[in-house]
Structure 1
Amino acid sequence: MKICVVGLGKIGLPLAVQYAGKGHTVIGADVDPAVVEHVNRAQAPFPGEADLDLGLKTAVAAGTLAATLDTTAAVRAADAVVVVVPLYVDDAGLPGFTAMDAATRAVAAGLRPGALVVYETTLPVGTTRTRLGPLLEEGSGLAVGADFALAFSPERVLTGRVFADLRRYPKLVGGVDARSTAQAMAFYEAVLDFDQRADLPRPNGVWDLGSAEAAEFAKLAETTYRDVNIGLANQFARYADSLGVDITGVIEACNSQPYSHLHKPGIAVGGHCIPVYPRLYLWNDPSATVVRAAREANAAMPEYAVGRLAAAFGDLGGVGVLVLGAAYRGGVKETAFSGVFPLVAGLRARGAVPYVADPLYTAAELEALGLPAHRGEPVAAAVVQADHTEYAGLRAADLPGVSVLVDGRRVTDPGLWPGVRRIVIGG
């Protein structure tokens, strides 16, 4: 097949490499000239994705993958189009469709009869059928179902391990009609490989969800579940703090029974997925009180951590505090909805002088994000925000002058902090 992947970000580019690796000809389209240039030079435009460098070099050298700024021209040559552009959510939880709509119009202008269009970006339920389908029809002059196939198939991977996750998890597919579903399922069966896991209720592979709405709902539901579970764990952790009980042992005991699967509490829930998709669900279902409460509980955790530090220190006025980790997740150079931002704001609100350090970021990169980079200034307290592996061996001697450590991820070794008051969330 000839395939166009629209959006060469941390999901789109690995997908393009995966498809090319299966022998298909892939053109990746992106609006960022630097990304296009990097791809055409066989250079990954972002670090940290396992197996991407080699796969990209192999595909570009073989002539099976190239990148372009001209989405419409790329679509015009394609049998299948996979759209993986961002959908943003504002502070009020409202989705912003600007980038998605623009990409859809560019796809429509080049769409040819018989082609398949699949959206992988997580969307509110109903978006594929009621918003994107009409835009494609309007811009192409073609009819959904009769002239081209339209489906939704959510990405279900984590950055850093995209290729492994593509093999590990079933591919969920739902079309706007039976013909679209069948065409989308045949497409994914031709471009993906699947591990055959014995622990799945159904065989691994491509799963027909029955409709685009069901596939959209499935992605929102599985991610919202994680946010709700973490919210519950965080509320348990706060109660454990009031009791002087270690929540880790409680959770381990609960999870020894197969009916319980409590997640870990922590200082923040960040990233493009878990803090965002429950808001998309709430946009569809504003009466979902459980979802709303969990999102609020998780959003409150950075301030709770600052409060724990303030209670231990007495007065944070003028106190230098080092926040360890700008990334939202250990080992990933990404700050989307990271807890570092509310932590810095909360520390400043209490009169502290915050600084930020991260092994993945230079001081200049941190400052470009609006964060106060640590350049050796004296600090009296530290807060672990990201679970970078580097912090497991961090010791008191590495941060002279620090008398209180708030480990929001439970990654530090308590034996390495003699003479320092070490605080963890949940006992």
Structure 2
Amino acid sequence: MKIAVVALGKIGLPLAVQFADADPAHEVVGVDVDQRVVDSVNRGQEPFPGEDHLADKLADLVPAGRLRASTDYADAIPGADAVVVVVPLFVDEATGAPDFGWMDAATRSLAQHLGPGTLVSYETTLPVGTTRDRWKPMIEEISGLAEGSDFHLVFSPERVLTGRVFADLRRYPKLVGGLSEAGTAAAVAFYQDVLDFDTRLDLPRPNGVWDLGSAEAAEMAKLAETTYRDVNIGLANQFARFADTVGIDVHRVIEACNSQPYSHIHTPGIAVGGHCIPVYPRLYLSTDPDATVVASARAANAAMPEYAVARAASLLGSLDGLRVLVLGASYRGKVKETAFSGVFATVAALRSRGAQVLVHDPMYTDDELASFGWTPYHWAAGQPGEPVDVAIVQADHPEYAHLCAADLPGLRLLLDGRRTTDPSNFTGTPRLTIGGGEPVPA
């Protein structure tokens, strides 16, 4: 097969590699608007760090001629048996409405070069109904082809986590929903050919490619599984805030609850970030605005950075004029990505209280941190940084597990929003957590 993958980001590029690796006879072409990404891939080098096995696979597949990249849709799309679209869908910060700008542009470009007999699969998470009501008429109008007879259109959501994409592709069933039975059958056959699955005994049916019956069902399945996580975390954060008022360690409570099989309470924390968990509930709400449970959980999670900063301020009385260090710009540990990271709201809450804010992240250079408008902070194990009054752990980078009070001269308070640090390293220095129930003066 010739397979085209549209957008070579942190999901799209590993997918292209997986497809190329599945069969030496496959020709895989990735198309991306970023020339730097294309050039890096064509050199057999990973354009971003942190994805397990990606560098080694690129180094093997590209020189062998099994994978290449291009900025030209006219190169990638014609003659393709399958086109897989993984272009980002953005969400307006203020309104929560989906912004289809990039996806519309990519869809128009691929439709201009689409030929008969092609399977088109969207893997980007979408509001329910988008595949049928937006992409189908757009592709048909531009290409002059009829869906269901000239080409097939399906939705098949990615269900992987950055950093472990190849493992997750094996671990989880691949969901498929088409607009016709023939399209669904083509998609099932395609994914069975390019994916391998681990045996799992905890599933209602064998691991592999699952037909959801319609594109809408597959779209909802992706939104539902991620929205569930946001709602669950929202509940955990509500429990944590109450636990702080009554002096209970909510983590011990959650551990106890989850000791039986019907409770799966997630972990509370300072923020919910990334491309998925804080975004997909908004996509769901865009088509189901009456989902009050979803909306309430999203609001509760969005309020956690402000809560954490207020908790620190309540101990010290005021943060005005204090030097406050935010540890972690990334939305989670070991990932160089700031999408919807809690760092933004944390810095804003601190600045609103007059604090002098510094930011540290082991994955970012000083220039990269400064480009966000932050003052970089320098600290490394065994090399104490400049004096600070307060430190707030925002991302659970493994480097912070070894942090101690001596690394941060003058430290008067640590607020560990991820429970990453070792309490024994801060003997004599107040250490607060989210839901730890540590005593704080009123």
Q: Equivalent residue for 2:410?
A: 401
Measure, in 1, the Cα distance between the counterparts of 2:373 and 2:39: 27
One-letter code aligned to 1:179: A
CA contact (8 A) 1:72 1:108 kept: no
Distance 1:370 1:327 in 2: 15
Alignment match of 1:417 (pick from 426, 429, 437): 426
**By how many angstroms is 1:168 displaced?**
0.2
Q: How does 1:200-239 map to 2 (within 5 A)?
A: 200-239=203-242
TM-score (norm 2): 0.96
Number of equivalences: 427
Matches within 5 A, 1:17-416: 17-23=17-23, 24-91=26-93, 92-375=95-378, 376-416=385-425
Structure 1 residue 200, shift from structure 2 partner:
1.4
* Secondary structure in 2 matching 1:125: coil
Between stretches 377-386 and 79-88, larger displacement belongs to 377-386
| TM-align CA RMSD | 0.8
- Once residues 73 and 61 of structure 1 are traced to their aligned partners in structure 2, the CA distance between those partners, rounded to angstroms, is 19
Q: CA deviation at 1:166?
A: 0.2
Equivalent position amino acid for 2:418 in 1? R
Following superposition, the deviation at residue 378 of structure 1 comes to 2.7
Residues 72-93 of structure 1 deviation map (CA, whole Å, 9 limit, x = unaligned): 3311121100000000001110
Task: Kindly indicate whether the alpha-carbon contact (under 8 Å) linking 1:403 and 1:419 is maintained by their aligned counterparts in 2.
Answer: no
Q: TM-score, normalised by structure 1?
A: 0.99
Contact 1:94 1:280 in 2 (8 A): yes
Query: Unaligned regions of 5+ residues in structure 2, if any?
Result: 379-384, 437-442
Runs of 4 or more above 2 Å deviation: 369-372, 375-378
Q: Determine if contact 2:357/2:374 at 8 Å carries over to the other structure.
A: no
CA distance in 1, matches of 2:73, 2:310: 49
CA distance in 2, matches of 1:237, 1:198: 34
Structure 1, unpaired ranges of 5+: none
Q: What letter matches 2:142 in structure 1?
A: G
Q: Contact (CA 8 Å) 1:174, 1:181: kept in 2 or not?
A: yes
Q: Which amino acid aligns with 1:344?
A: V
2:141 partner amino acid: E
Tell me how far 1:377 sits from its aligned partner: 4.4
Shift of 1:167: 0.2
Kindly provide the CA deviation profile for residues 157-178 of structure 1, in whole angstroms up to 9, marking residues without a partner as x.
Answer: 0000000000000000000111
Aligned 8 A contact 2:32 2:38 in 1: yes
Letter in 2 for 1:291: V
Alpha-carbon separation, structure 1, partners of 2:74 and 2:296: 43
Residues 375-426 of structure 1: per-residue CA shift (max 9 Å, x gap): 5543111000001111111101111111100000001000000221000110
1:358: how far off? 0.5
- The secondary structure found in structure 1 opposite 2:199 is coil
Secondary structure of the 1:382 match is strand
Indicate the larger mover: 69-78 or 288-297: 69-78
Paired-residue identity, %? 69
User: Does residue 2 of structure 2 align to residue 2 of structure 1?
Assistant: yes
Check whether the contact 1:116–1:150 (CA below 8 A) recurs between aligned residues: yes
Which letter maps to 2:179?
A: V
Determine the C-alpha separation between the residues in 1 that align with 2:230 and 2:237: 10
Equivalent-residue separation in structure 2 for 1:177 and 1:50 (angstroms):
36
The residue identity in structure 2 corresponding to 1:81 is V
AA aligned opposite 1:36: V
